[in-house]
Structure 1
Amino acid sequence: MFTDIIKKDLTIVFCGINPGLKSADVGYHFSGKSNRFWKVLHQSGFTPYQIEAIHDTSILDFGYGLTTAVERATSRADELSKNEFDDSLESFKTKMNHFKPKYIAFLGKAAYKAFSKKKEILWGKQEEDFCGAKVWVLPNTSGLNRRFSLENLVIAYNEFYKAISEN
């Protein structure tokens, strides 16, 4: 089982869709060679240096945590079924209600779309809270997500960083 990095009352819980095979194999979040999460987090202002995947637990030092919507590891997120998201919803809600983050940042539209039951999701801040947390939907940093360049990912994440820094 892939381990969450989470504690109560964090500013943000970043929620990936599910673990990649490499991350599940080594036990560190976003450890795939082509995943840009740690680089984007640093370049957009969330961390003063780039965290290495093997030090993923240090994200807690900045008031952030990590979880996934679905626990099953796959090579591609599109290998997950609608039923897997549906089956994960209640345990995810229980987790968020217990840990009470201020924000949940869904990385990619798939998980939030499945959890909210909405047909269309826009990038950025969402109108409704989820389990008492404000919600942002950010582009997925997976290397398979070629629709977003590193520069565009940094811009999107920096917009989120600026918004939460103002509150």
Structure 2
Amino acid sequence: MTGSFVTDGDSVQSLPDVLEPGLSLIFCGINPGIRAAATGHHFEGRGNRFWRVLHLAGFTPEQIRPEDDRTLLRYGCGLTTVVPRPTAQAAELSRLEIELAGEAFRRKIERYAPRDIAFLGKMALSAISGTRSIEWGLQTERFGGARAWVLPNPSGLNRAFNLDALVDAYREVRVAVASTP
């Protein structure tokens, strides 16, 4: 599912999903960054720590390069975003824009039926669910039929979590997903 968006007079493609039915886990960003949308590859930004964290947390035997993002499917994981519109920073999205994208996003998760979904950051789940107080980790309510997790956003702009803290949080999800039949 791709489309085009106009930003400052330039047309920018939205980022294609890396999904297939029945994955163990789907990582869900809020929306694509401009660079990721322009290249067509998830977590392409220079300061983004996603691929490094995924490898260090044990999801992949080697660090995947953004241009090889589709290889994540080999490990039972996929990638998507709640809002398809690319921005330089997620803060450029309004809460309403995220809320409006929420129902279509929920249907997408129901259609692909992963066992688990990991929201990268609290912002999207908070807006979709209307819940202001979201905790890190496993959520009490499922999302689109999947067990839902909230992980820290790996963006380099997220200074609240250093690399070790990110790896620990992601490893917790990996271990839980691996131990679920």
Pairwise same-fold verdict (TM > 0.5) = yes
1:102-117 alignment, distance < 5 Å:
102-117=115-130
Provide the residue aligned with 1:91 in structure 2: 104
Q: Write out per-residue CA displacement over residues 11-60 of structure 1, whole angstroms, 9 at most, x where no aligned residue.
A: 00100011011101111000101000000000001111100000000000
Whether the 8 Å CA contact 2:23–2:113 is kept in 1: the answer is: yes
Provide the residue aligned with 1:25 in structure 2: 38
- What stretches of structure 2 of length at least 5 have no aligned partner? 1-13
- Displacement of 1:136 in angstroms is 0.4
Whether the 8 Å CA contact 2:33–2:86 is kept in 1: the answer is: yes
Choose which of 51, 73, 76 in structure 1 pairs with 2:86. 73
CA distance in 2 between counterparts of 1:160 and 1:110 reads 19
Provide the residue aligned with 2:162 in structure 1: 149
CA distance in 1 between counterparts of 2:21 and 2:166 reads 27
- What stretches of structure 1 of length at least 5 have no aligned partner? none
Residues matched between the structures, number: 167
| 4+ residue segments displaced more than 2 Å | none
Q: Write out per-residue CA displacement over residues 82-128 of structure 1, whole angstroms, 9 at most, x where no aligned residue.
A: 12112201210111111001001000000111111111000000001
Provide the residue aligned with 1:128 in structure 2: 141
Letter in 2 for 1:114: A
Is the radius of gyration larger for structure 1 or structure 2? Answer: 2
CA distance in 1 between counterparts of 2:132 and 2:67 reads 36
Tell me the TM-score normalized by structure 1.
0.98
**Over aligned residues, Cα RMSD in angstroms?**
0.8
CA distance in 1 between counterparts of 2:29 and 2:155 reads 10
Tell me the TM-score normalized by structure 2.
0.90
CA distance in 1 between counterparts of 2:55 and 2:64 reads 8
Whether the 8 Å CA contact 2:26–2:78 is kept in 1: the answer is: yes
CA distance in 2 between counterparts of 1:2 and 1:162 reads 28
Provide the residue aligned with 2:18 in structure 1: 5
